[in-house]
Structure 1
Amino acid sequence: MTPRGRTNQLIYQAELLLEVPAGDDEHAVARRMACEEGALALLELALDAALREITEHARLTRHDWRELLIEKDEDNGKAKGDSNDGIAELERLRELAAEPGTWLNVLIVRLEALQSVEGVARREAGSSLIVAADRIALGDELRWCLKKFKALLLELRETSIEW
């Protein structure tokens, strides 16, 4: 399989998980939460695969999104991937990761929550609880991230092909 094919496969599988019907049995909530967290885990793999794909020309030894997009080097305070500053695609993604409210920033926040003890998927509030009107369901948020990810990936692939 090509790097591009693997990226596409992971994105498609994440989309499939988000479309699994929760059902209406006693396992519906757990099923929905499992599908949401599974889709998020696949999105993390897709992000790594996309980084590998769009930086193929640079022959990077590592493609972990944390290293390339957010981790800081203690010596200079810059992202560890900053030695690859000549890669425009990485710079664009770093900017998105740092800007609150962007799909990549939201995705990274959710990925960090996924690694926590509490996880990221939540039970929906019961009818007796007041729910904030501006709170977006995790599944809807992930669908939005996927849509934006796919659109940007097309652009990043175009610029990467130029190399």
Structure 2
Amino acid sequence: MTSSGRTNQLLYQAELLLAVLAGNDEHAVARRQSAEEGALALLELSLNSALRELTEHARLPRHEWRELLAADASPVAELTQLRSLAAQPESWLGWLLGRLQALHGVDGAARREVASPMTIAVAGQRDLGDELAGCIAEFKATLARLRETSVEW
């Protein structure tokens, strides 16, 4: 399998996990959270795979997103563009990195449902699954543009 094929496969698998129906039994919330956090973990693998793919020409020794997106990392053009995107919290990559930090934290990234009747719903708050689906779509669009630049090398 090629490096771009692996990246595509991981993104597809993340999309498949988001399509898992939670159901309405006593395990529905746990099933939804599992699918969301599983998709998020696959997105992390996808990000590392994409970074490997986009920097093959630079022959970097490591491809961990925490290292390559750090401010003092290698000055590869594709990485510079991604670092700029990551610095914008409202961008798909800024959002994703925040969710990945939460995923590795004690509380995890999946949102818990609060069953208290005293709770006021926040208008406009999207489900994590919906946000992940949007993130995947933007990830794919950015990746397509960066692949074009990378091929030129």
- Indicate the TM-score class for this superposition, using the shorter chain for normalisation: over 0.9
Q: Secondary structure at the match of 2:23?
A: coil
- Of 100, 104, 115 in structure 1, the residue corresponding to residue 89 of structure 2 is 100
Which 4+ residue blocks in structure 1 deviate beyond 6 angstroms? none
Matched with 1:66 is 66
Give ranges in structure 1 of 5+ residues lacking alignment: 71-78
Higher mean alpha-carbon deviation, 153-162 vs 125-134, is at: 125-134
Q: CA-atom RMSD, angstroms?
A: 1.1
Matched with 1:122 is 111
Q: Which amino acid in the other structure matches residue 149 of structure 1?
A: F
Shift of 1:131: 1.7
Q: Which amino acid in the other structure matches residue 121 of structure 1?
A: A
Matched with 2:144 is 154
Shift of 1:96: 0.5
Report the Cα distance in structure 2 between the residues aligned to 1:137 and 1:20, rounded to whole angstroms. Answer: 14
Report the Cα distance in structure 2 between the residues aligned to 1:80 and 1:62, rounded to whole angstroms. Answer: 14
Shift of 1:127: 6.5
Matched with 2:40 is 40
Shift of 1:134: 3.3
Q: Which amino acid in the other structure matches residue 8 of structure 2?
A: N
Matched with 1:136 is 126
Report percent identity of matched pairs.
64
| Normalised TM-score (structure 1) | 0.90
| Number of residue-to-residue matches in the alignment | 152
Give ranges in structure 2 of 5+ residues lacking alignment: none
Matched with 1:31 is 31
Shift of 1:126: 2.7
- Indicate if the aligned counterparts of 1:125 and 1:131 stay in contact, CA closer than 8 A: no
